[in-house]
């Protein structure tokens, strides 16, 4: 039954695969705000094989972007030890029992 409301879509990324499996099992079919949730695993789109003609006419930027996009899924491309500036300031403030503003104050 169509109620005049648009479909809602969401893409969720989990750090641990087992959390994704658990959410998939627990959330699929649940009702949220009067709507049934249907959870589907994502799939990687297979890029069509480019012929040598189209590869020659493509610009360098487009070729590099498609190569970077394909390589972005590899886990060794992401720095798992990266911490944003806010996370660092929060951690330092917590360690020294100070407020974040005290940590960031330059005086």
Query: Can you give the pLDDT at residue 36?
Result: 85
Query: Can you give the pLDDT at residue 52?
Result: 47
- Tens of pLDDT, residues 52-98: 445 555 788 888 888 888 777 776 666 667 778 888 889 999 999 99
Percent of the chain that is helix, strand, coil (3-state, to 5)? 45, 5, 50
pTM score of the predicted model: 0.35
Residues 6+ apart with CB under 8 A from 96: 103
Average pLDDT over residues 6-13: 81
Domain ranges of the chain: 12-41, 69-104
């Amino acid at each position: 039954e169509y109620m005049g409301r648009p479909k809602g879509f969401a893409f969720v990324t989990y750090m641990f695969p087992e959390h994704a499996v658990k959410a998939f099992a627990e959330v699929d079919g649940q009702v949220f705000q009067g709507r049934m949730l249907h959870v589907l695993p994502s799939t990687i789109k297979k890029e069509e094989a480019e012929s040598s003609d189209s590869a020659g006419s493509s610009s360098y930027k487009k070729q590099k972007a498609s190569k970077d996009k394909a390589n972005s899924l590899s886990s060794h491309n992401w720095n798992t030890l990266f911490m944003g500036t806010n996370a660092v300031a929060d951690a330092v403030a917590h360690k020294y029992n100070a407020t974040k503003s005290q940590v960031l104050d330059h005086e």
